[in-house]
Structure 1
Amino acid sequence: MRSDLFRRTTCPSSPATRFVLFPSLLLLLHLLSSTAADAPTAYDELLEYDFPVGLLPKGVTGYELDKSTGEFKAYLKETCSFKIEGYNIKYKTTISGVIEKGRLKNLKGINVKILVVWLNIVEVSRHGDQIDFSVGIMAAGFGVSNFLESPQCGCGFDCNNMFLEKVLTSSY
């Protein structure tokens, strides 16, 4: 008789119970997947601090940001190099620094080749429609409109012409 009582008090599997549990599970799964999908990206965070997305190349795999201090890290799958406006640029797999409205400082992981020397870009600041890149001893300014899209590793912003050049030179 005791075993019969035990069977009745365990989780009932009547159709009414399944009817309530199944939609609840679906709702929970939907909430979990939508919060992961709605999480801001590193590119969204740049916009939040008044920077264009093109300061980071395509392919950022993740990032960390401490909103209280502004300390951040952005991650790429591999080292990323390309040429912009005659400058060779290289991003390491981890880019770090401190972000605040209109200013990225204490940067590590972004280099620019000037003449024959690779220098670290240590600060990026925005002044209206101008973005200034500083290597400490020198700075160069560019229009914000140059960075509205993210550059692509290997070809920067000029991937169509690069592809065309490769096709034309390899066909001979």
Structure 2
Amino acid sequence: MMSSSIKFLCIVVVCLTASCAFSQPQRLSVYDVLMEYGFPVGLLPKGAIGYSLNRETGHFAVYFDKTCSFVIESYTLQYKSTISGIISNRRLYNLKGVTVKILLLWLNIVEVKRDDEDIYFSVGIASADFGVDNFLESPQCGCGFDCNKLPLNGDVSSI
């Protein structure tokens, strides 16, 4: 039989272990971090596998398993397996790893800014704005928002 002091010690150890487990802060997802800085989650496609963020400098990197591309309306977007830049409240700049195909040219998206209900995308020489409500949901690699229209064999290379 266990003495009452050993039982008490066991109970204390169990309580402390449980307390430590519950007090560990949960790491935010990269999508949660986007929202903290005033952006909708749909700026990034689904499937980010990790990120790094220096909250003092704003330098960040987001990681995907592989290059991700999809079409939204008439734009083809491509995210490299690592994208990086600097994030501040409602502004992403010095972006690397995100490109958009306009006509026959692939252009780097170098800055994204949010102004009230609009989001501005800059490729350096030009910019375009879109309503925030277009980015409330994250697109999916390969099919964007039209994933229900995939071929039956699952081949997304023709999309």
Coarse TM-score class (shorter-chain normalised): 0.7 to 0.9
Supply the AA of the counterpart residue of 2:43: L
- Tell me what 2:58 maps to: 70
- Asked if residue 32 in structure 1 is aligned to residue 17 in structure 2, the reply is no
- Tell me what 2:6 maps to: 17
- Aligned CA RMSD, in angstroms, stands at 2.2
- Asked if residue 135 in structure 1 is aligned to residue 123 in structure 2, the reply is yes
- Asked if residue 158 in structure 1 is aligned to residue 116 in structure 2, the reply is no
1:35 CA displacement:
2.6
- Equivalences for 1:97-136 in 2 at 5 Å? 97-136=85-124
Give the SS at the match of 2:31: helix
Which whole-Å deviations, capped at 9, do the CAs of 1:33-52 have from their partners, x for residues lacking one? Answer: 6636x221111111011000
Residues 1:18 and 1:133: Cα distance change in structure 2 (over 3 Å): same
Give the SS at the match of 1:17: helix
Alignment coverage as a number of residue pairs: 153
Which whole-Å deviations, capped at 9, do the CAs of 1:13-47 have from their partners, x for residues lacking one? Answer: 857425523652464256336636x2211111110
State TM-score, norm by structure 2. Answer: 0.86
CA–CA distance in 2 between the matches of 1:15 and 1:109?
62
Residues 1:152 and 1:23: Cα distance change in structure 2 (over 3 Å): farther
CA–CA distance in 2 between the matches of 1:167 and 1:141?
35
From the two aligned structures, give the one with the greater helix fraction: 1
Q: Unmatched 5+ residue regions in structure 1?
A: 1-12
Residues 1:24 and 1:144: Cα distance change in structure 2 (over 3 Å): same
CA–CA distance in 1 between the matches of 2:14 and 2:130?
52
Give the SS at the match of 2:143: coil
- Tell me what 2:76 maps to: 88
Give the SS at the match of 1:151: coil
- Asked if residue 79 in structure 1 is aligned to residue 64 in structure 2, the reply is no
- Tell me what 2:40 maps to: 52
Identity within the alignment, %: 54
Give the SS at the match of 1:89: strand
Give the SS at the match of 2:34: helix
Give the SS at the match of 2:152: helix
Which whole-Å deviations, capped at 9, do the CAs of 1:84-120 have from their partners, x for residues lacking one? Answer: 1210000011110000111100000101111111111
